Amino acid sequence: MASMDRSGDVLHAGLAVVLLLGVWSVGGLEVSTGKVSSIEAMNGSTVLIPCTYSSCIGIKDLFFNWHYNDNGTMLKLCEGEIPMEGVEPRGLSVYHERVEFVGSSKGNNISILLWNITFEDQGEYICFARNPKEKNRNHSATFTLIVVDELREIDSSLTVVIVSVLGGVFGLVIFLMVVKGLVVNFLLDGGDKNKECLVNSGNDNTENGLSGAKADTKGTPKA
């Protein structure tokens, strides 16, 4: 009995740990740079480098910062702290002359702008956040900036091929639908004609039969 009780206690403890881990993974802090994690931008332009945070548990004194990966050396761009939901960052510090913080706590946004970019600005930008409310759980996301002389033109030939193929498919479908409609109408018309032929044939036979019957029933004329 004692061994069974111990087994039950171990099972209950295991279930509790699993449930706690599940809650932690579902409600844990996450930061994201969006569905597109890289962008090509013209030399000399201004670029928005996006980042948002989320936590189902909520935040308190959320710490965040941005770093630029300069060939393995992490250069700090800015940092700040958000006291609670809906409150703007405090203690905001920017360490790069062409970086501007444009985030807002109302949208869980901690994005930055990078002004007048150069080829030296190309590389990875890391958004980091830490939430003391979740026992200092932290998370980071990376956004890649590619600087070019001119933006690449979309290959129109591929677009033309795709449109042509789709047009051919739609044309074939429409053609098949028209042929199907014609065949169905032909079959229906043929069926109606057959019915008419059968009815007419039946009427003729009936009339012939009746007239023949009448002829047969006539008596032999008396002399």
Among the listed residues 145, 162, 149, 141, the one whose alpha carbon sits nearest the alpha carbon of residue 65 = 141
The answer to whether residue 210 sits within a structural domain is no
The answer to whether residue 119 sits within a structural domain is yes
Do residues 138 and 61 both lie within one domain?
yes
Query: Could you tell me the residue range of the domain that residue 129 belongs to?
Result: 28-148
The answer to whether residue 202 sits within a structural domain is no
Contact between 70 and 135 (Cβ < 8 Å): no
d(CA 9, CA 7): 5
- The tally of domains found in the chain comes to 2
Contact between 178 and 72 (Cβ < 8 Å): no
Do residues 50 and 160 both lie within one domain?
no
Q: How many residues does the chain have?
A: 223
Do residues 105 and 183 both lie within one domain?
no
pTM of the model: 0.59
The answer to whether residue 37 sits within a structural domain is yes
The answer to whether residue 186 sits within a structural domain is yes
Do residues 159 and 144 both lie within one domain?
no
Tens-digit pLDDT profile for the chain (223 aa)? 554 455 555 445 443 433 344 444 456 999 999 999 999 999 999 999 999 999 999 999 999 999 999 999 999 999 999 999 999 999 999 999 999 999 998 899 999 999 999 999 999 999 999 999 999 999 999 999 999 998 766 555 555 555 555 566 556 667 677 666 765 565 556 555 444 444 444 444 444 443 444 444 444 444 3
